[in-house]
Structure 1
């Protein structure tokens, strides 16, 4: 994480390295969360948003199945590390100005384990619900 002072202030601002977020817009809950993050980010935050529902071929280079991303959020950071689930949420939130504090909290020891448990349980149920509603 690189921090540079903003011009004319003593505050620091985060310049995030590039990350690619792979999400599924066919899930209304997932899409709402991604849209909220997109609205809060400037175009220079270094996030590339890939909707796998509309661009499933984008997963070929990563060796992922479409069902993997339908069930859990995936983020590839600037170093090429794949983040999945709660870790992917934390990575994406790091690049959202109002989300940085949540990113830090999600990465705390203890909280991270609980976040994984909660995310995985919710993701599994959400995936089943979306399948039952024929969203894909």
Structure 2
């Protein structure tokens, strides 16, 4: 059985919402089984406050908790989702290997910064 994963994402970001919607549809069996959950951070703005993250932190990058309650952030959430998503394991292996993950994290973080700035400029929150 795959590990439990609860993903917190921003529905007010059109790209984030579409990406999570795509994953939710691909992971429908795991969602129905309760193995993977997707939660809108705008409905639970302080859901991860005990980790010290602000609402803007969560809007900026994907956040998730695993079955042990550990916090996973950014690229590592994307890699975890790719590992679970049928047909996406190769992407997790390619971008999440020991050599590539620093580059993947850097690229993800820069893209997330730009997307966050665009959403704020567009008045989405």
TM-score by length of 1: 0.82
Higher alpha-carbon Rg = 1
User: Which of these residues, 72, 77, 90, is aligned with residue 66 of structure 2?
Assistant: 77
Unaligned 5+ segments in structure 2 are: none
Say whether 1:33 aligns with 2:22.
Answer: no
In the other structure, the counterpart of 1:104 is 93
State the distance in 2 between where 1:32 and 1:65 align: 23
Cα shift readout 1:64-122 (whole Å, capped 9, x = no counterpart) = 21111100001111122211111111112222112222122222122101101100100
Say whether 1:22 aligns with 2:11.
Answer: no
Offset at residue 61 of structure 1 (A): 4.4
Root-mean-square deviation (CA), in Å?
1.5
Higher strand fraction (1 or 2): 1
Large movers: runs of 4+ above 6 Å: none
State the distance in 1 between where 2:23 and 2:6 align: 13
TM-score by length of 2: 0.88
State the distance in 2 between where 1:75 and 1:106 align: 18
Q: How many residues align?
A: 122
* Greater RCO, 1 or 2 (C-alpha within 8 Å, sep 6+): 2
